Amino acid sequence: MSTPHPPASSRRLHWMLAGLLLPFTVGAAPPGPLGTISDVRITGQGVDTPSDAPLCESFKPTPREVVAFFRHAVVITPRQEHDYFLHGPCYVEGTLRTRYGQWRWRLRNFGTAYVSVDGGEDAFLFADPRQESSLGDD
């Protein structure tokens, strides 16, 4: 007797979490577009709608995992976010420091993040290319 497979959305979440939660690799990796990151603080987490809460219970990245995300992330446009990435209903937010000052960030569970200068209006959109979604399969 075969076991039923979980729905595609559950499998996608599983693989997204697995990719995000991978430990650091050994060796010198480039620091990513933000440069060297320090003083990562998680200040909150949330969901877009209350019905998403069960899906988001396991999305709890650590500061080290946030740094790993930004090491792999690239800067993207809103159009690229729309066309190539799924909208993650779960988020974790906080602050971090680079050589250019303090930043606020919000990381979503399907591999995108918004970063803005602390106290400023300039914002940047990042995505982990490993989390890109092929919408042609849906």
pLDDT beyond 50 at 137: yes
The C-alpha atoms of residue 35 and residue 28 are separated, in whole angstroms, by 13
- pLDDT bin (cut points 50, 70, 90) of residue 29 is low
Across the chain, what does the average pLDDT equal?
81
57-110 pLDDT, tens per residue?
Answer: 999 999 999 999 999 999 999 999 999 999 899 999 999 999 989 999 999 999
Whether residue 59 contacts residue 52, with contact meaning beta carbons closer than 8 Å, is answered with: no
- Work out the pLDDT band at 22, boundaries 50, 70, 90: very low
pLDDT tens-place string over residues 123-136: 899 999 999 986 65
The pLDDT score that the predictor gives to residue 133 is 87
pLDDT at res. 13? 43
Inform me whether the pLDDT recorded for 4 exceeds 90: no
**Residue 7's pLDDT band (boundaries 50, 70, 90)?**
low
CB distance 116 to 70 below 8 Å: no
Q: How do 74-76 and 123-127 pair as beta strands?
A: antiparallel
